[in-house]
Amino acid sequence: MRLASFIEGRNNNFNLIRMIAAYAVLVTHSFALVIGTGNAEPLQATLGMTIGSIAVDIFFLTSGFLVTASLLTRQSTIEFVWARVLRIYPALFAMHLLAIFGLGLFFTTLSWPSYFADPLLYKYLLKCLTLFSGSPYELPGVFSHNPYGDSINSSLWTIPYEIAMYTILSAIWVSLRAMPQYRQQAFNFVAVSGASLSGILIFLSYFNATAINHFIWLFFLFFTGSTFFILRNRIVLSHSIFFILLFVLLLASLNRHAFFIIYAATLAYILFYVAYIPSGMVRKYNKLGDYSYGFYIYAFPVQQSIAALLPGVSVLTMVIISSAVTLLLAVLSWHFLEKHALDLKGHYVNHTKKLLSFFPTSKSTS
């Protein structure tokens, strides 16, 4: 069946996939935070990537698909922006406040007056406000003796890239408002071309043995996700194609150079097949809640805290303790903050449209 046949409603496996991906990041970081190096996870030497980096790729493919679906279905930039803001920032600010006034005050080696007087604290706080200038990493005197160093939350490096992709996607849509008859077709062409050209650049870089730019790689993944939504009426989700691609990918894992090429070419199809085809018991996870974002943003500071409290902790113990604590925080974050923030979208959208209605040249739903 065509991909378009499956995408109506929310009856899919994306919540579970994202939760598994967030957990994979926690596992990868457990090796790094215990051993003290980012290359500590065993898969890094075998495949040239970790399960955590694969998880990030899944996040960007999924995000590109779902947010493009949101934008093109509603065709409202205002709704798109508020949906993204309310999904990212409330939980992120809560995590930062906990880091500054909870973990920071508890773990800092400085006196509290010195801690609050240190310019590094306010640099951290300033970056927290938008993330456009990058993600904040250090607080004064916090985790400075940990094996991995004093990073508060290295997982956040992906969020400025995510925000950049949202900005590019919405900018493409807004820039085409002057041609309403062909807006959809032009948007589709630009998005698919962006995925194709970035893919070509990645393969050229790889074959020329030059480093692949982070932005271009994440751009490729995000807009490949967009492309799958745009071409949803042409893409067939087939058991045969899925198992052939999965077999080829597993076979390619015997050679790390071949693996990257096959991985880049097959990951999107494998992901969207798994997101929509398996059903039954696996769908019951959707009744729990979308805990993946909270799990992702809280895991690293929890793990750094464990590394500080339990010097010499093993990787397995780190995984077990941090999984339990992070899951608790993620559940609380979803039920008491995140889902309520998302419920405010209609309120803020309506107020924004009313505000823009005072400007005759504005088109509030564009």
Nearest to 93 by CA among 156, 165, 162, 30: 156
* Distance, CA of 26 to chain centre: 14
* Mean pLDDT, residues 325-342 taken together: 96
Nearest to 30 by CA among 358, 318, 363, 348: 318
Rounded Cα distance between 79 and 163, Å, is: 15
User: Cβ–Cβ contacts within 10 Å for residue 45, how many?
Assistant: 11
* Mean pLDDT, residues 236-247 taken together: 96
Nearest to 329 by CA among 285, 361, 304, 298: 298
Rounded Cα distance between 83 and 258, Å, is: 39
pLDDT at 364: 46
Phi then psi for residue 38, to 5 deg, are -70, -10
User: Under a CB-based contact definition with an 8 Å cutoff, are residues 308 and 146 in contact?
Assistant: yes
pLDDT at 257: 82
* Distance, CA of 40 to chain centre: 22
- Pairwise pLDDT comparison (10 vs 339), residue with the higher score: 339
Find the distance separating the first CA and the last CA of the chain, reported in whole Å.
Answer: 32
Residue % of the chain over a pLDDT of 70: 97
Identify the H or E element spanning 299.
helix 292-309
Residue type, 232: R
Burial class (CB within 10 angstroms; exposed 0-12, middle 13-18, buried 19+) of 4:
middle
pLDDT digits (tens, 9 = 90+) for 35-70: 988 788 888 888 889 999 999 999 999 999 999 999
- C-alpha R_g of the chain: 21
pLDDT digits (tens, 9 = 90+) for 275-296: 999 988 999 999 998 999 999 9
Residue by residue, DSSP assigns 241-270 as HHHHHHHHHHHHTTSHHHHHHHHHHHHHHH
Alpha-carbon torsion (143, 147, 149, 152), positive or negative: negative
Nearest to 265 by CA among 201, 197, 193, 199: 199
Nearest to 7 by CA among 232, 187, 283: 232
Rounded Cα distance between 228 and 66, Å, is: 10
How far CA 8 is from CA of 5, 64, 332, in Å, comes to 7, 17, 29
How far CA 69 is from CA of 62, 174, 225, 328, in Å, comes to 11, 16, 10, 31
pLDDT greater than 70 at residue 361: no
Helical packing angle, 214-230 and 51-74, nearest 10°:
50
Nearest to 90 by CA among 358, 333, 304, 359: 333
pLDDT greater than 70 at residue 360: no
pLDDT greater than 80 at residue 359: no
* Mean pLDDT, residues 345-354 taken together: 91
pLDDT at 130: 74
Residue type, 173: W
Residue 67 in tokens: 């947010």
User: Under a CB-based contact definition with an 8 Å cutoff, are residues 148 and 32 in contact?
Assistant: yes
pLDDT tier at 363 (50, 70, 90 boundaries)?
A: low
pLDDT digits (tens, 9 = 90+) for 105-118: 999 999 999 999 99
* Mean pLDDT, residues 61-80 taken together: 94
Rounded Cα distance between 212 and 204, Å, is: 9
pLDDT greater than 90 at residue 125: no
pLDDT at 252: 93
Task: Enumerate residues 6+ apart whose C-beta is below 8 A from 178.
Answer: none
- Pairwise pLDDT comparison (215 vs 48), residue with the higher score: 215
Q: What is the mean pLDDT of the chain?
A: 92
pLDDT at 29: 95
pLDDT digits (tens, 9 = 90+) for 12-24: 999 999 999 999 9
pLDDT greater than 90 at residue 268: yes
